């Protein structure tokens, strides 16, 4: 039955499966060029569109990337393992470390395009933070680049009345980041909630994250709560799905 099922697969999918198996077996390593459209057409006796679709499958899965004028190559970027629980523990940011240190190990992380503004609260954020419509929020926008590859866009919203005059309103928030500064204000997070979904990126997100065609993004919306259940931050994150493994390790 499995063989008959495989035969019913579209030709491009069977070619993509064979290429994926070859990559996983090590016949093509990181940075290696995969067979081109002409190669696949000759080897599998298929039309150019079929060969192109097969290579497109691997690109959409994040296994391969297209380089203009050079071909399709096995992606050399190693996905980031995002430790969803460990990274947010008080022992991480409470001791002056960035929550990113739990994820990046010895890899090079750069935060760029940082913008900090005060703006009217968006309607979708007002209800979560308990701010009256039209009230002010501190908005922190930034992009995270790992090993030279943009992987994440993040926008945080915090009550302006809470963070006024603190380092949170500056580009560099200092050791321990935003959560360290909230703790100094007596509003350190004691609980987090994350909601995760996925969709195709906007044109702007594709450009900012330098995404290959067809690559979806993951959306994580994290709300931080201080004592008494008071919400103190909403962080909306857009992740390159091919650059991440989401890991949640917790006791039963």
Whether the model pTM is above 0.85: no
Q: How do residues 162-207 score in pLDDT, each as one tens digit? A: 999 999 999 999 988 999 999 999 999 999 999 999 999 999 999 9
Q: Does residue 70 carry a pLDDT above 70?
A: yes
What would the pLDDT profile of 100-120 be if each residue is shown by its tens digit? 676 777 788 899 999 999 999
Count other C-beta atoms under 10 Å from residue 121's C-beta. Answer: 22
Looking at residue 75, the DSSP 8-state letter turns out to be: -
Better-predicted residue by pLDDT, 128 or 147: 128
Round to whole Å and give the CA distance between 133 and 48: 55
Residue 54 · residue 95 · CB < 8 Å = no
Dist. CA 210–CA 222, nearest whole Å: 24
How far CA 116 is from CA of 157, 180, 208, 242, in Å, comes to 10, 17, 18, 28
CA–CA separation, 197 and 227 (whole Å): 27
Q: pLDDT value at position 102?
A: 67
Per-residue pLDDT, 1: 46
């Amino acid at each position: 039955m499995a063989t008959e099922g495989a035969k019913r697969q579209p030709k491009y999918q069977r070619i993509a499966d064979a290429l994926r198996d070859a990559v996983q077996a090590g016949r093509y390593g990181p940075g290696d060029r995969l067979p081109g459209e002409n190669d696949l057409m000759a080897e599998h006796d298929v039309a150019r569109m079929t060969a192109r679709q097969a290579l497109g499958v691997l690109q959409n899965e994040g296994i391969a990337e297209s380089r203009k004028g050079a071909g399709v190559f096995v992606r050399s970027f190693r996905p980031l393992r995002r430790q969803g629980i460990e990274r947010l523990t008080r022992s991480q940011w409470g001791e002056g470390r960035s929550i990113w240190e739990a994820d990046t190990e010895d890899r090079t992380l750069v935060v760029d395009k940082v913008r900090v503004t005060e703006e009217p609260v968006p309607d979708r954020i007002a209800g979560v933070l308990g701010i009256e419509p039209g009230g002010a929020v501190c908005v922190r926008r930034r992009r995270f680049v790992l090993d030279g590859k943009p992987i994440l866009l993040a926008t945080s919203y915090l009550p302006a009345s809470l963070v006024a005059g603190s380092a949170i309103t500056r580009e560099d928030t200092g050791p321990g980041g935003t959560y360290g500064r909230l703790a100094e204000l007596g509003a350190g997070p004691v609980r987090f909630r994350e909601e995760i979904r996925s969709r195709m990126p906007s044109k702007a997100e594709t450009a900012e994250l330098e995404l290959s065609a067809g690559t979806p993004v993951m959306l994580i919306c994290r709300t931080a709560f201080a004592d008494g259940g008071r919400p103190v931050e909403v962080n909306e994150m857009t992740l390159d799905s091919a650059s991440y493994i989401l890991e949640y390790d917790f006791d039963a």
